[in-house]
Amino acid sequence: MSDLCPICPYLRSAFTLETGLGWSAYHGNSIEVLKSLPEGSVDALISDPPYGTGANTLMGRLKPSSEKYRSTGAAPLPDIDGDSLMPEAWQDMMGQILRRSYRVLKPGATVLLFCDWRSLPSLINVVSYSGFALQAVPVWDKGRGSRPRKNGFRSQSELILWAKKPGVLDGPEPPVYLDGVLKHSTLSNHKQHLTQKPLPLMKELVRVVPKKGLVLDPFQGSGTTGVAALEQGLTYIGIESVPEYHKIACERLAASQARAA
């Protein structure tokens, strides 16, 4: 696999950093940022990477994400880097980022990665080859606000691949027991990112992180993982390559910090 992907900005060099109390938000190349982070310093990786799908045909998957994920009546939003790649390029991107993430995670650290039914097999392979131990595949039930399909089934769920870095890491106290199906409504037309996840869902996921632990999101988007982490008393590192989304994430993280002050 190559160490640079010229068509994917996630793998281009150079980055900038903005920080606040308990958070760091990098704009630029996930690979370069991950190389710069201390080994064994992160308690959990919780992220919503680009699925590289969004359609049932190859040509449909290669369309810009703003065409694949449009909501009726919603304002236009910037495309997502890494979402319109050929399958081999998507796996290369994910493999590079997950292998670098493995180094910075503590032994026993939790990994939670969103995906859909089309990207799950490839993601399982990449996660396994990167050295992580697979645990389970919880389901996010989006409720009846999700897309219906004529003479078929509503697109009501997305998946969360749960894995761990081998080793032992003390979890939160008292222990947390999450359901295998997490029910949270979608955001409809109020999103600041094309695939933004609901804050209550992300706050539920970060409960698995040890008290005052550090959460990493190498596909930060609009920063929902970080806001959830800060609201749960955790610290956070996020990385985003799209400048518009990086700006939104920094504004949301700063606002969350101000509310907690």
- For residue range 138-167, what is the model confidence (pLDDT) as tens digits? 999 988 767 778 899 888 899 999 999 999
Least confident of 56-70, 127-141, 163-177: 56-70
pLDDT recorded at residue 96: 93
pLDDT recorded at residue 63: 55
In a domain, 7, yes or no: no
In a domain, 157, yes or no: yes
Segment 86-109 mean pLDDT? 92
In a domain, 227, yes or no: no
Segment 77-94 mean pLDDT? 72
What CATH number is attached to the domain comprising 81? 3.40.50.150
In a domain, 226, yes or no: no
Segment 190-198 mean pLDDT? 70
In a domain, 55, yes or no: yes
Tokens, residue 193: 């990112």
Segment 12-17 mean pLDDT? 75
Segment 128-140 mean pLDDT? 98
**Residue 211: pLDDT over 50:** yes
In a domain, 8, yes or no: no
**Residue 1: pLDDT over 70:** no
pLDDT recorded at residue 134: 98
* pTM for this predicted structure: 0.85
pLDDT recorded at residue 195: 65
Give the type of residue at 205. Answer: L
pLDDT recorded at residue 241: 87
How many domains, in total, are found in the chain?
A: 1
Segment 225-252 mean pLDDT? 94
Q: Over pLDDT 90: what percentage of the chain?
A: 58
Distance CA 134, CA 38 (A): 24
pLDDT band at 260 (very low <50, low <70, confident <90, very high): confident
In a domain, 225, yes or no: no
Cα maximum dimension of the chain: 52
The beta-strand segments (E) located in the chain are 15-20, 23-28, 42-47, 105-115, 133-136, 139-141, 157-164, 181-183, 214-217, 235-240
Query: Domain of 138?
Result: 17-220+233-260
Segment 79-83 mean pLDDT? 58
In a domain, 11, yes or no: no
